[in-house]
Structure 1
């Protein structure tokens, strides 16, 4: 007998239990990343949804106001982050199932499909809002769009900050999908 066949024969139950332990560890990391995604997307939705600023003007009848719902892109951003956050809360149940039963394959495939769809949705919403935030900060002289962040400082700080949480959610989804793929690729 060669050394390789002895190693294969000796692996037995201990190799199978170590593989289950690795899959359980991947499932726990998946759960933690989902919690991070929930915090990021929910904080982004709340921060953007509560953003407004009013500038005083020389007369009491004229006031300049900036709110998130002045731009449809920011409204989309709030809705997308709320939907993704709700999905992540619901997906925690399957994530817990994967911790308990590390050999569950079909539910992992289902999660990968939905996680990929949510990643695309969240990336689209965050990227569109990032473009508007860039215009708010820099403006566009060719189109005669003026940068508003010199006047609406608080508004711009909050909308910029809400993008950070959303992109944290994007990064969490990328890692979740990769972890799920690794868990599926490992033999049970």
Structure 2
């Protein structure tokens, strides 16, 4: 009885299952083709957006490159002004008659000569580094190859400027305050113009040192982020 009452089930393949199975593959192939065709359009549309407004690494690299360029221009001004100011520091002080004069000139102090040369070298370097900084703005993806040499040169310039400014600052301090133990009188009581120019040059040089330190930190952070 159980064998006679059992129904026989015959599976008939009418093609619907195969069609249903092939449909996702056909849809996936169609989506892939659409994505491939739309990729050049998205790339072309993205290329028209300014690099500072793009999302992702290119926009960040472009912003850092622009800041690097602006800071180099900002550091060039103080170094050039300091070199010119110290190089034109010359004052004569007449006592009683014009035949008896005291003369204060920057090359009377070796520290001031070193200061002028150091700031002139730094100013020239900053001008020469501007094209390399601009290359980092135009091609942010290739900025890593430019940042490392600039980082090394910036570090050298910081050392040079710090040494020159520190040596000049010591002379300026003695010129303002003197030294009682060595019986050195403060000459700034008489040579007002000379001391004002040299003091301003030292301040400008230290400002350039601070800007270069910021450039070094920025370059180090950029190189580290690109190596991750």
| TM-score, normalisation: structure 2 | 0.74
Does 1 or 2 have the higher relative contact order (CA < 8 Å, sep 6+)?
1
- Determine if contact 2:86/2:198 at 8 Å carries over to the other structure: yes
| Matching of residues 145-160 of structure 1 within 5 Å | 145-160=184-199
Where structure 2 has 5 or more consecutive residues not aligned to the other structure, the ranges are: 1-42, 47-53
Larger radius of gyration: 2
- Quote the residue 1:172 is aligned against: 211
**Structure 2 CA distance, aligned partners of 1:60 and 1:32?**
49
Spell out, residue by residue over 1:29-83, the C-alpha distance to the aligned partner (whole angstroms, 9 max, x if none).
1111100110010000001101111111112321111011110100100000000
**Structure 1 moving runs of 4+ over 3 Å:** none
**Structure 2 CA distance, aligned partners of 1:111 and 1:102?**
15
Shift in Å, 1:187: 3.0
The worse-fitting range, judged by mean Cα deviation, of 86-95 and 52-61 is: 52-61
**Structure 1 CA distance, aligned partners of 2:72 and 2:223?**
18
Q: Does 1:87 align with 2:125?
A: yes
Residue among 137, 161, 164 paired with 2:176: 137
**Structure 1 CA distance, aligned partners of 2:195 and 2:84?**
15
- Quote the residue 1:73 is aligned against: 111
Q: CA RMSD in A?
A: 1.6
| TM-score, normalisation: structure 1 | 0.89
Where structure 1 has 5 or more consecutive residues not aligned to the other structure, the ranges are: 1-12
Q: How many residues align?
A: 175
Spell out, residue by residue over 1:137-163, the C-alpha distance to the aligned partner (whole angstroms, 9 max, x if none).
001111111110001011101100111
